[in-house]
């Protein structure tokens, strides 16, 4: 029996509704799928889109992030014992000691409790203090232990361990150590720790997705365009310092488990963090300015919003206030010979 016009009409409408539902489901699936990294055009290098300044939309102003816009920090000598932040015991010798002998007499660990422990030798040729090296000769030594770090101030037990390790080294090389008075050094450690606690700053921005989530590859691609490179830990990227060997200027991190997933492209990430360890980076790197620019550019390119750890949106005025307070902090560190990025500051704030 032939279908009536009504039945035919209902069938057509039903088909359209079903098609609309399928289309909406597909659209929703695509919309909710984590954003993926762009695939290079044929003939392009596989990592071409990761180079600084390439592939960024014109309005993102990639030039604002080029290193040429920031003065380079001067290279610094290797960190050495510093009376400002170390207890130092001088070690006199009956006769010069070879570097090989000194190395064999070194303690098994370079820590006294939670504090770094270091022995330096006075090179007979250069007359400079250095870590003992094979094939050289030394006319004196000095041993030191750090007064404070982020684990706290040097305490009596750590000082005693420092004395024992130094004395064992002296016994092996026929040296005589002259130790500072423990009470005075422990008191000095507390004062330094108090100063460090009052002037330690670790800043963090959170970039949150407004709409679609991000895949790890999408985050890496966008961050790479601003100069970030892969860190040691999955889910971490860093903006390298101007001078090789120094701590990175900024760190960027997202869900480690998502980065290590069997199929990272299916991992949905809705936020990432950008961090700055102020005391570790020379102020001439303009780290906060670059942190602020990175957050702004990533927010634009990835459709995100910049907030603090509590989810409160950071306005331009709030960031200006942070920048002003940072300049005051830099000045106070300079006044105490603990300039941000210096060897002493990097050791103290670690």
Q: How high is the pLDDT of residue 21?
A: 59
Q: Are 220 and 235 spatial neighbours (Cβ–Cβ below 8 Å)?
A: no
pLDDT band at residue 42 using 50, 70 and 90 as cut-offs: low
First to last CA, the chain: 86
Q: Are 254 and 269 spatial neighbours (Cβ–Cβ below 8 Å)?
A: yes
Tell me the pLDDT of the chain averaged across its residues. 86
The CA R_g of the chain, rounded to the nearest whole Å, is 29
pTM of the model: 0.78
pLDDT band at residue 262 using 50, 70 and 90 as cut-offs: confident
Nearest to 117, CA basis, from 93, 89, 138, 92 = 89
Phi-psi region of 176 (alpha: psi -120 to 50; beta: other; left: phi over 0): beta
Q: Are 19 and 26 spatial neighbours (Cβ–Cβ below 8 Å)?
A: no
* Integer Cα distance of 279 and 250 in angstroms: 12
Q: Domains of the chain, with CATH numbers?
A: 48-75+200-348 (3.30.1400.10), 86-197 (3.30.1400.10)
316-341 confidence digits (pLDDT tens) = 999 999 999 999 999 999 999 999 99
Reply yes or no on whether the pLDDT at 161 is more than 90. Answer: yes
> Residue ranges of the alpha helices (H) in 33-128?
99-105
Other CB atoms within a 10 A radius of the CB of residue 330 amount to: 21
Nearest to 37, CA basis, from 54, 25, 50 = 50
Q: How high is the pLDDT of residue 88?
A: 98
Average pLDDT (123-151) is: 97
Q: How high is the pLDDT of residue 36?
A: 74
DSSP 172-215: HHTEEEEPPPHHHHHHHHHHHHHHHHHT--EEEEEEEESSS-B-
Reply yes or no on whether the pLDDT at 43 is more than 90. Answer: no
10 Å CB burial of residue 128 (0-12, 13-18, 19+) is exposed
CA torsion angle 90 92 93 99 (round to 10)? 20
Strand partners, 148: 153
Reply yes or no on whether the pLDDT at 261 is more than 90. Answer: no
Q: Are 129 and 120 spatial neighbours (Cβ–Cβ below 8 Å)?
A: yes
Q: Are 149 and 348 spatial neighbours (Cβ–Cβ below 8 Å)?
A: yes
């Amino acid at each position: 029996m032939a279908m009536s016009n009504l039945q035919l009409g209902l069938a057509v409408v039903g088909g359209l509704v079903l098609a609309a539902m399928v289309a909406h489901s597909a659209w929703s699936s695509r919309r909710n799928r984590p954003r993926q990294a762009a695939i290079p055009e044929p003939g392009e290098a596989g990592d071409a889109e990761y180079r600084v300044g390439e592939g960024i939309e014109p309005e993102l102003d990639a030039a604002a992030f080029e290193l040429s816009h920031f003065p380079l920090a001067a290279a610094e000598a290797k960190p050495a014992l510093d009376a400002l932040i170390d207890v130092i015991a001088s070690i006199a010798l009956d006769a010069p000691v070879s570097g090989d002998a000194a190395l064999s007499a070194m303690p098994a660990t370079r820590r006294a409790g939670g504090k770094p422990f270091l022995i330096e030798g006075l090179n007979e040729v250069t007359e400079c203090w250095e870590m003992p090296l094979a094939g050289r000769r030394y006319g004196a030594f000095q041993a030191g232990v750090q007064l404070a770090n982020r684990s706290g101030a040097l305490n009596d037990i750590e000082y005693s361990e420092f004395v024992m390790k130094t004395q064992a080294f002296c016994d092996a090389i026929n040296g005589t150590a002259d130790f500072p008075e423990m009470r005075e050094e422990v008191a000095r450690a507390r004062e330094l720790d108090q100063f460090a606690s009052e002037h330690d700053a670790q800043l963090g921005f959170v970039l949150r997705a407004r709409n679609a989530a991000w895949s790890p590859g999408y985050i890496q691609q966008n961050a790479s365009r601003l100069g970030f490179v892969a860190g040691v830990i999955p889910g971490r990227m860093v903006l390298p310092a101007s001078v090789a060997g120094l701590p990175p200027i900024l760190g960027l991190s997202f869900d480690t488990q998502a980065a290590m997933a069997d199929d990272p492209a299916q991992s949905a990430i809705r936020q990432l963090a950008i961090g700055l360890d102020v005391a570790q980076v020379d102020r001439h790197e303009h780290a906060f300015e670059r942190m602020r620019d990175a957050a702004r550019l990533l927010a634009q390119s990835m459709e995100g919003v910049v907030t603090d750890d509590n989810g409160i949106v950071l306005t331009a005025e709030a960031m200006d206030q942070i920048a002003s307070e940072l300049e005051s902090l830099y000045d106070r560190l300079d006044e105490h010979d603990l300039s941000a990025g210096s060897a002493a500051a990097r050791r103290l704030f670690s």
